[in-house]
Amino acid sequence: MELEAVIGDITREHVDAIVNAANSSLMGGGGVDGAIHRAAGPGLLEECMELRRTELPDGLPAGRAVPTAGHDLPADWVIHTVGPNARRGETDPAVLASCFASSLDVAAEVGAATVAFPAVSAGVFGWAMDDVASIGVEAVRAWRPPEGGSGVEKVRFVLAGEEGLTAFTRALG
């Protein structure tokens, strides 16, 4: 699998799937989550509301992932994952690693060969960018497609600025 890190706007990525650093409600929020909801249009919120009514009445737990359509985005899919919130004492690296691995599992299930990730749990969730980069890159490198699933061929870490790019470039070695 090819891995790369770039500075950019994840809502403009021409990939099969983008990963949303969501909150458990799936109803949008700030940062990457809010930007994705705004760019995808009202259909994304409607689909998320349906998930909450049916499959996820208590919300999406940290470390898990769920797909929706991309709606008005260039990507066909949005894969929502909830990272651990360090500001609330959620500091287990295994939960953060699970965000990346679970998102790739979902990508394989929907047939996405190219996936763009943000720095899940950095920013408002309080994780240090270097930790997110090292845990995220390690989880992606360790990931294997589920039995019978298609493989993800390319992962692009799309970062908002130089701090993220530096951390992910270092983690990519």
Active site positions, annotated: 33
In sequence order, what are the beta bridge partners of 77?
A: 17, 69
**Maximum C-alpha span of the chain:** 43
Q: Which DSSP string corresponds to the chain?
A: -EEEEEES-GGG--SSEEEEEE-TT-S--SHHHHHHHHHH-HHHHHHHHHHHHTT-TT-PPBT-EEEEE-TTSSSSEEEEEE---GGGT---HHHHHHHHHHHHHHHHHHT-SEEEE--TTBGGG-B-HHHHHHHHHHHHHH--PPTTPPPP-EEEEEESSHHHHHHHHHHH-
